[in-house]
Structure 1
Amino acid sequence: MSSLEEIIDQKIGEVRTESLDFSFGEIVNLHSNKELIIQPEYQRLFRWTDEQKSRLIESIILELPIPQIFVIENENGVFELIDGLQRVSSVIQFIDPSLLPPIPPEEKKLDHLVLQGCDLIKNLDGKTFKDLSLRLQLRIKRSSVRTVIIKRQSKSSLRYEMFKRLNTGGEILASQEIRNCSARILGEDGVEFYTFLLEMTDHATFKNCIETLAQADKEKKGDEELVLRFFAAKNAQDLFKGSVRDWLDDYMENIILKKIDFEYETEMENFRSLFAFINEIMGNGAFVKYRGNNPIGGLAPAYYEAITVGIFQVLEQIRNVQNDLVKQKIINTVQTERFRQYTGSGANKRDKLQGRIETIKNALLELV
């Protein structure tokens, strides 16, 4: 049996890294030549305010240390940035914003960064890159940042774990954004599942049913998380141990790593058929709370789980029931004390998850 030291040595050998000091001028050129890719699936651009970006530029000018960045070397030898995007994009915007993609949804091109909020050298406020002397421009371009390269020979599962640990708990990425990036890192099987999530998210009836999802959540891929959440609630309640984040992580990883079966064609048809039905019955009032017959508030995830899976489990039995009767039954049921006991405080427990789904299911069966 291998000793602990041998096991550790073997793990270390599965991931190969190299550390280099790249100047910011080199980074700008690499990005311009498409030798350094900033993948939108990895990290959304421009979470930093102009003040945060400006203080980074100020730190570079003052030759203060800048935290290292991480890139993955893909099969073509091209680097893909996986950690440090705010720093890199801030410097690129300051030097040459035309190299960065436009900002969705308006697709507005970025303007030159005008420094503001500099607290160590206040005279920098109001300056653009072109306003600086050649000496200061060159100082910025020649300043270096330690770059850790995860080599393409590294085992994909180790690259994946490294990405999760770099980003979990940080403010740069939300949970679903981390899952999406992690999926890409795991290779073709991960890309296949991520592409599937995107296709389901783009389905018109699903979009209408989750219209009440907050815009801030949509910007953090909350709609994609809802797709994943439906399949997890339908197929993997046994994996739920109290943390929604861990539950969805585990379910997605198990699919990508082929630890559990996922029939794409069947699941796609299930999803589309279900949301066509829900959209016809409830529309954008499907997953909100009610006071009487009046919808209130935004999308409630616990209601979403209960209604989607509860309906799915009896869909064939209730297809011929009048739409108005199904709608009224759901509206009445989510206001019952029984349903509320499964969605209130402490709702993130497996028995509560199962209880709220069963409540919707059993209520609908009363119509048959």
Structure 2
Amino acid sequence: MNERIEKNYEREIRTTAVDFSFGELLNLHKEKEIVIRPEYQRLFRWSTEQRSRLIESILMGLPIPPIFLIENDGGVLELIDGLQRTSSVLQFLDNEAIEQPELTLNGCDFLTTLNGKTFRTIDVASRLKIKRSPIRATIINKSGDAFVKYELFKRLNTGGSLLSAQEIRNCSSRMIDGGTEFYELIQRLSKDRNFSESTSRLPDTSIEQRANEELVLRFFALINSRDTFKGNIEEWLDGYMESILFKKVKFDHNEMEKLFTKTFYLINNKLKDQAFTRFNSHGEATGRLAPAYFEAVCASFVSDYSIISNIKPCTLLSRLKNAFESENFKNATGPGANTIAKLHKRIDVVRRHLRGESDA
């Protein structure tokens, strides 16, 4: 009984509530005692008008929602929620401190005299009010359980409109010891030349939301954890990544990187950007990258690498078109495609076609 109580106690979140002024946050950021990481949350998704209205709200004395920080092993605080609010005010106070252009206010509806002003051109009283205005910060202490910290970040952000599912994964992975290594692997492979070229039909807006990084994770989940797929893509990817971060499964970073790079080298050299897309009646590649096609082709190339290596690109492309046009493939990618049976079916159809076999 006592052991159970002790175990539950160890998993409690230990937090400290602090009121920081924005001036203090700026100084802490300059001294590198608070870390803001724009590389895994897009720094300014807010428009100039949204940022300006936040400054207007502060000057009007309206309460600002709290921010959340996590204490790392060195005692440095890392911002995990409230990036838009914090970075907007810091940009206004000292744009050079966060390497952004000067913020000129625009779109203020109540204090209209603010429009067109910068921090240097507003009156002294307003400058001081912004710098001295408090914001409540909840600090998650470093002694807390890693899994609880990880789950907390997910719950803080899941359902919000600011972060995509992959951005939440990227951020939450940093809550776990060793998670940065996995996060950096995903980032690095998403910039691999062959991968980037073969997935170039991803829209820029999707890449902005880290869809390319999600495809890297999807590749690993497909190769290593296909049978855990239960129909919900986000839950499947979350579960697979968590099994790696919490060391429930073996994941050899070096071996997986080699497998990824050699697979996409072959895909790009054989099929270019036609690997994961539909074809029109004239046999021309059309439209965006289709995730179900991505799964089928990647799994086939990994399974039959040596066979596919010896097939001419023109022959392989012709076979791929036939695979995508087959009734069996269409049945496995249409309505209700997110089942493990249909996942296996569409992989099997593409494998057979690429090898020159019947998929009957």
Q: Does 1:278 align with 2:267?
A: yes
How far is the alpha carbon of 1:208 from its aligned partner?
Answer: 1.0
Measured in 2, the distance between the counterparts of 1:100 and 1:41 equals 12
Secondary structure, aligned partner of 2:325: coil
Is residue 128 of structure 1 aligned with residue 118 of structure 2?
A: yes
Equivalent position amino acid for 1:17 in 2: T
Q: Distance in 1 between matches of 2:6 and 2:355?
A: 54
* Aligned mates of 2:40, 2:144 — CA distance in 1: 19
Asked whether the 8 Å contact 1:321–1:367 carries over to 2, the reply is: no
Which residue is 2:223 aligned to? 234
- Distance in 1 of aligned mates of 2:262 and 2:249: 23
1:54 aligned residue:
52
Is 1:202 matched with 2:200?
no
Distance (whole Å) between structure 1 residues aligned to residue 196 and residue 107 of structure 2: 40
1:261 and 2:250 are equivalent in the alignment: yes
* Percent of residue pairs identical: 44
CA deviation profile, 1:322-354 (whole Å, cap 9, x unmatched):
322111100121122221111122222222211
Structure 2 length-normalised TM: 0.94
Q: What does 1:300-315 align with in structure 2 at a 5 Å threshold? A: 300-315=290-305
Q: Residues of 2 paired with 1:223 and 1:200: CA distance?
A: 9
Map of 2:329 onto structure 1: 339
2-structure distance, mates of 1:9, 1:323: 58
Find the counterpart in structure 1 of residue 9 from structure 2.
10
Q: Distance in 2 between matches of 1:146 and 1:359?
A: 56
The amino acid across from 1:144 in the alignment is P
Q: Please give the secondary structure, in 1, of the residue aligned with 2:174.
A: helix
> 1:2, 1:294 → 2: CA distance?
68
Q: 1:22·1:144 contact (CA, 8 Å) conserved in 2?
A: yes
Pairing 1:148–2:135 present: no
Give CA deviations for 1:279-307 in whole Å, capped at 9, x if unaligned.
Answer: 11101111111013200011111111111
Q: Is the 8 A contact 2:270 2:312 kept in 1?
A: no
**Are residue 324 (structure 1) and residue 300 (structure 2) matched?**
no
Work out the CA distance in 1 between the residues paired with 2:56 and 2:128.
14
Q: Distance in 2 between matches of 1:200 and 1:269?
A: 10
AA matched with 2:9: Q
Alignment match of 2:38 (pick from 40, 46, 64): 40
CA-CA distance at 1:42 after TM superposition: 4.0
- Answer yes or no: is the 8 Å Cα contact 1:209–1:284 preserved in 2: yes
17-26 vs 111-120, greater mean Cα deviation: 111-120
Greater mean alpha carbon deviation, residues 139-148 or residues 344-353: 344-353
Amino acid across the alignment from 2:193: A
Q: How far 1:72 sits from its partner (Å)? A: 0.8
Find the residue that maps to 1:93 and give its secondary structure. helix
Alpha-carbon distance in structure 2 between the residues aligned to 1:297 and 1:330: 16
Shifted more, 313-322 versus 88-97: the winner is 313-322
- Looking at structure 2, the residues matched to 2 and 244 of structure 1 have their Cα atoms a distance apart, in angstroms, of 40
Measured in 1, the distance between the counterparts of 2:307 and 2:71 equals 52
Q: In the aligned structure 2, how far is the partner of 1:196 from the partner of 1:135?
A: 48
Matched ranges for 1:99-178 at <5 A = 99-101=97-99, 110-178=100-168
Q: Please tell me whether the aligned partners of residues 30 and 36 of structure 1 are also in contact (alpha carbons under 8 angstroms).
A: yes
Matched, 1:252 2:276: no
CA distance in 2, matches of 1:139, 1:269: 55
User: Does structure 2 retain, via aligned residues, the 8 Å contact 1:41–1:181?
Assistant: no
Once the two structures are overlaid, the 10-residue window that deviates more, 324-333 or 140-149, is 324-333
Task: Give me the whole-angstrom Cα distance separating, in 2, the residues matched to 1:57 and 1:95.
Answer: 10
TM-fit CA distance, 1:56: 0.7
CA deviation after TM superposition for structure 1 residue 88, in Å: 0.6
Aligned residue for 2:87?
Answer: 89
Deviations 1:41-74 (A, max 9, x none): 4421000011111111111001111000001111
CA distance in 1, matches of 2:308, 2:32: 54
8 Å Cα contact 1:42/1:82 also seen in 2: no
Question: How many Å apart are 1:3 and its aligned residue?
Answer: 11
The aligned counterpart of 1:183 is 173
For 2:320, the aligned partner's letter is: I
